[in-house]
Amino acid sequence: MMDSMPLPLFYEWMDYYERNSFGDELGNYWHSLMCSFLYNPHRGKGKPAREPKDFLPTLKKHKKKKTSKELGEMFRVYTQAHNASLKSKKSKR
């Protein structure tokens, strides 16, 4: 699949996934939501109500903004991959 997807598009999908999770993470949230719905009406007297986040094993923390050094490294990796793909296309001709 990576051969047919340009690297910038792949990075866009990675960024989209970080902002709008789908798949297992979303499923985990819905399960934790159901757990809180079931737990709260049946909790013991004097016990606090629980939120869905209380039933998740871990929550993904927001990533810090990338430094210029990290962005430079990402650009370097991108350009290497892009140049390699151009060379392979050129050699196939």
pLDDT tens digits, one per residue of 24-83:
777 888 899 999 999 999 999 999 999 998 988 765 565 677 788 888 888 888 888 888
Predicted pLDDT of residue 63? 66
How is residue 88 written in tokens? 């392979």
Backbone angles phi, psi at 46, to 5 degrees: 85, -5
d(CA 12, CA 18): 10
- pLDDT above 70 for 12: yes
Q: Is the dihedral of CA 35, 38, 41, 43 positive or negative?
A: negative
Is the CB of residue 35 less than 8 Å from the CB of residue 53? no
Predicted pLDDT of residue 66? 79
Predicted pLDDT of residue 62? 59
